[in-house]
Structure 1
Amino acid sequence: MNFDLDSERSKGNANSLSYRQLQLETVDLEPENFQQATLLSRHFNNEPQQWQAYLNALAVFALEQWLSDRHLTLTYQVDSLIKTQVLSSEAISPLQVGNFKLCLLSNASLEDQEIKIPKNMIDSPDFAAHFYTIIQVFIEEYQVIVVGFLRYDQLIKKNLKNTKENYYKLSLEAFNAEPSHLIFNLKYLSPAAIKLPENRFIENTFEQLTRWLDQTFTKDWQPIEELLGKRRPIIQMCLRSDEATYQSFINAVQKFLKQFSTPPIQEDKNQVNLAESELSSTEVSHALVQVLETTEDEETRWQAAELLWEIAPSHPAIGVRRAIDLGMQLSGISVALMIAILPRANQRIAILLRIYPLQEQSFLPANLKLIGLDEMGQSLFEVRSRERDDYIQFKFTADPGDQFSLEIVLNNATVTKHFMV
């Protein structure tokens, strides 16, 4: 790792004396802890994420040992923490001790006397915990200090400061500085005594996209042809001509197909010679399916799928697409969110997100934003409309079970939709 350890260590050393004077509980780190932390941190791409994951891993190992010495067992799944990128967050949750959930806040420095907690770690039923525990890591001393803890029901009554980066800030003084009280709570308190937010991400609010492949949709998601009416976005995208006829569209498709031209295989009746100058719509459909099923390039697959939507919208090879009218939720501005899903051979799902104007509008309002968020509420992408954009879009791939949210933002209005792949 290429961390600037000297600067981080100097921060830790500045605080080490004051905490030792308070005689807070310390845990010694072993050499193998550092080796494991280094390996885990390498799962992340950039240096800040690696550094935070490194600290967090050391903090988890120390907390596990500290609880074990007091006859309590910390339960966690490293693979899950890595997959959701919780390990590289400023907080790790949920860790489990019996039926209690713990959120671990690890730091190398507490100089500013404030603790940053991602909002999702408090507001989301998936991450909210019974106890929020602060641990400070001292790299050079091979030690970790259990600084303090706070119960969820007490935390939400505190003066939480909002930040623009989706964090809450809380004074260090708000935390109980007696770690032994945490042990007492974990051993003798009932988890039911601390009410956590209920999981609202049930089928009613969580659109499960893989169900679309079985033709199972919630009522607000309509066939795109019904919602967009006579709008012909795909033909316009291909030809950029309002006077395009169906035949000129077919010609444009054939031009697209010629780059994949291969000699026909006589034994396969569905195999099409893409070099032919004139193909029927059926032959064009077979050729597009052939491209869709054989190419590995994701952008090419989407082009083939979109062309097939025009020629054979019910073909089983082209995945599913649905749209929802957001006008009533977005200050009366008539726009639609379209989502298309396209299965891949490796069980992953390709996803296309697109925002269209509705009714008589030809273009989207300027500065409309499509924002993608991960399970923790961290930003994945942001797309913004410009003057005279007839749609904006974003494409990505995901695994079954992955969760994400979309925010569609215009001026002071925001619509949020939650999805599971």
Structure 2
Amino acid sequence: MNLRPYSESYPVQNPRISYRELQLETIDLEPEFFEKATLLSRHSNTEAEQWQIYLNTLALFALEKWLSDRQLTLSSQTYSLLRTQVLNLEAVSPLNVEQFKLCLIARENLGNQTLEIPEKMIDSPEFAAHFYLLMRVVLEEQQAVFIGFFRYDQLDGRNLKQTDTGNYELSLSELNPEASHLGLNLKYLDSTAIQLPKNELAQQSFERLTQWLENIYAADWQPVEQLLANRPPLVPFCSPINFRTRNLSSQKTIEKSLKTLQMSGALGHQNPGDLSQAELSDVLVELLQTTNNEETRWQAAEFLWEINPNHPAVGVRRAIDLGMQLSGVPVALMVAILPKPDQRIAILLRVYPLQGFLPTNLKLIGLDELGQSLFEVRAREQDDYIQFKFTADPGDQFSVQVMLNDATVTEYFIV
């Protein structure tokens, strides 16, 4: 879709502002708003999405201008918000203003005098807001019109009508059209007066994974080598290697791992058998810092844990004994984190038996901050471990459950 400069005409179904809208507050749209909206809309591939991004961006800049005129500010820079939240398309939420969360809804035309809001924007703790603000972007007039707002607590006890697409439907007549009332609420109301749905993880004690990179751990999280010291070596984890005294089983494990890396091209033309321990360590560190292949990075990390576990490039791994909480079943949960070049964090979760094999049907389950399932891995007969790998952003919250029959242990994390 090729968006035209703001000064040209746009195909608007109803270009005139209604009589009711003439009584509403308007915000003039500056030329640079249109330029930035055009640039940002190109991040999407479909015409419909590009157009909604364009409208969302203009409305967000208009809101920032409106707030500034009232000595109120968004807690984040507008342009950083645009690159993350405006692409949501359905609405821009949550926007933090002072102690409040706002949900901004931008429309070009108001159609049949009703407003559809995606269900998650009201029910989800991630998106629910204290105030929902509707703006109409009138391109021909180069203005955004403040149509009205409503408070989240006004929905309590109301049977919201749901459409066939799962959205909630409100009549525009239910919105408060007085922009000054919103400004007064933002300045003088206590946010605790409007109760939002609570995050499932909000009251839990989190283990902060990025603190592990600073050697800060809760007492229960032990070094892997210490907790798993009495169990037999496993592929690919085993006790630290002494190249001169390692046993045949460890040697075969190492050679197999190296062969896998060599076959994938990760070691280039170098023959792993010809490398000294120090040279191999350098090769693996370089691989960690340059490859874009996640499996190769984890292979390199795990092998580096074998030969140089204290190297600063190798990330961190810790384990916790869950036996006392899981009906006495001797298992441990290991969490390993590996920083990525793009500032994200690669995470590896493993459940180990401390004796023998894992019980059949033991489950490793990941949940998001809303308590929704992200993954589930089930142990089979004679499994040495079960695992799951994923990537997260700083600030992401999740929980991990280890479940066996009626017993469940849950650990909570924030990246």
Shorter-chain TM-score tier: 0.5 to 0.7
- Counterpart of 1:252 (choices 250, 256, 271) is 256
- 1:141-198 Cα deviation digits (max 9, x unpaired): 64433222123443456456899x9x98363468433224525624873446735669
Deviation of 1:133 after TM superposition, in Å, equals: 1.2
2:116 corresponds to = 114
Change (3 A) 1:172 1:329: farther
Cα distance in 2 for partners of 1:305, 1:135 equals 50
Cα distance in 2 for partners of 1:137, 1:332 equals 62
- 1:254-300 Cα deviation digits (max 9, x unpaired): 5356563778xxxxxxxxx7443xx7xxx44x344212222211433
In the TM superposition, 1:374-385 aligns within 5 A as 382-385=374-377
- 1:326-359 Cα deviation digits (max 9, x unpaired): 7999999998654312245x58354123343656
Contact 1:24–1:145, Cα closer than 8 Å, also in 2: no
Contact 1:257–1:274, Cα closer than 8 Å, also in 2: no
2:414 corresponds to = 419
Letter in 2 for 1:403: D
Contact 2:55–2:137, Cα closer than 8 Å, also in 1: yes
Cα distance in 1 for partners of 2:402, 2:29 equals 47
Cα distance in 2 for partners of 1:66, 1:133 equals 12
In the TM superposition, 1:96-107 aligns within 5 A as 101-107=101-107
- Counterpart of 1:289 (choices 281, 289, 310) is 281
1:123 corresponds to = 125
Q: SS of the residue aligned with 1:102?
A: strand
Contact 1:348–1:397, Cα closer than 8 Å, also in 2: no
1:235 corresponds to = 236
Q: SS of the residue aligned with 1:234?
A: coil
Letter in 1 for 2:302: E
Residue 316 of structure 2 corresponds to residue 320 of structure 1: yes
Contact 1:102–1:131, Cα closer than 8 Å, also in 2: yes
Gaps of 5+ in 1: 4-8, 238-243, 264-272
Letter in 2 for 1:33: F
2:358 corresponds to = 361
- 1:87-140 Cα deviation digits (max 9, x unpaired): 22233345465665533222346556432264589635xx76543212233456
- Counterpart of 1:403 (choices 390, 396, 400) is 396
Percent identity between the two aligned chains: 37
Deviation of 1:59 after TM superposition, in Å, equals: 1.0
1:92 corresponds to = 92
Cα distance in 2 for partners of 1:184, 1:257 equals 60
Cα distance in 2 for partners of 1:290, 1:385 equals 34
Contact 1:73–1:97, Cα closer than 8 Å, also in 2: yes
Q: Please provide the CA RMSD for this pair.
A: 5.1
TM-score scaled to structure 2, two decimals? 0.67
- 1:357-404 Cα deviation digits (max 9, x unpaired): 6564366568x754667xxx799x954547848534224364xx4434
Contact 2:99–2:191, Cα closer than 8 Å, also in 1: no
Deviation of 1:37 after TM superposition, in Å, equals: 0.9
Letter in 1 for 2:291: D
In the TM superposition, 1:121-200 aligns within 5 A as 123-124=125-126, 129-139=129-139, 142-155=142-155, 158-159=158-159, 169=168, 171-172=170-171, 175-183=174-182, 185-186=184-185, 189-191=188-190, 194-195=193-194
Change (3 A) 1:343 1:307: same
Gaps of 5+ in 2: 4-9, 239-247
Cα distance in 2 for partners of 1:100, 1:289 equals 50
Contact 1:91–1:117, Cα closer than 8 Å, also in 2: no
Letter in 1 for 2:316: V
1:41 corresponds to = 41
Change (3 A) 1:169 1:219: farther
Cα distance in 1 for partners of 2:187, 2:305 equals 61
Change (3 A) 1:191 1:147: same
1:393 corresponds to = 388
